[in-house]
Amino acid sequence: MLLGTALLIPLRQPSTHVGLLVMTQLLVGIGTSFFTTCGQLAIMVPVTHQEIAVVLAIWGMFGSVGSSIGSAIAGGIWNNVFLPTLHRNLPDGSKDQSSAIFGDMVIQMSFADGTPERDAIVDTYAYVQRLILIAGVAIMPLTVLSIFMWKNVNVKKLEQERETQTKGTVL
């Protein structure tokens, strides 16, 4: 997950081949799936059957809180960096339109590819997305640290104990 996100920092440019972007997204997806599956198992193993719903709800709550914090950070970067960067990148004749361009995707798409305005918009998107990726990579070690807080449970031994408790004679 960390590798895929970190690779996006230099690769998230308009000239990057789509295949490289797909590769980074696959790395992020694989890492996320491992973390999610192992995390859910780590919280379910030490609890009883009756407590599984509760711990999964808590897992989901903390995941939602973390996602909200990440979205707030990304939104703060986007809203505070995009407009000044766009204004700086636009040619002098279009600087007075920077607020309108910032707020309307239709206006952004109305500039033809290769025009100075469109290049300024594309460069601004690349720059701001790069900053958001850097923030994500900087915060991601918290995810790695959370793994060290998981309880180390010997699942094989636990399964053997549970089998001996449930063995009996069926009439």
**In 10 A of CB 8, how many CB atoms?**
24
- CA separation for the pair 55, 112 (Å, rounded): 52
- CA separation for the pair 143, 84 (Å, rounded): 32
- CA separation for the pair 146, 93 (Å, rounded): 51
**Domain map of the chain by residue range?**
2-149
- Summarised one tens digit per residue, pLDDT across range 70-98 is 999 999 999 999 999 999 999 999 999 99
Query: Which amino acid is located at 51 in the chain?
Result: E
- Summarised one tens digit per residue, pLDDT across range 112-160 is 999 999 999 999 999 999 999 999 999 988 888 888 887 777 778 877 7
Whole-model pTM: value is 0.80
Residue of higher predicted confidence among 55 and 165:
55
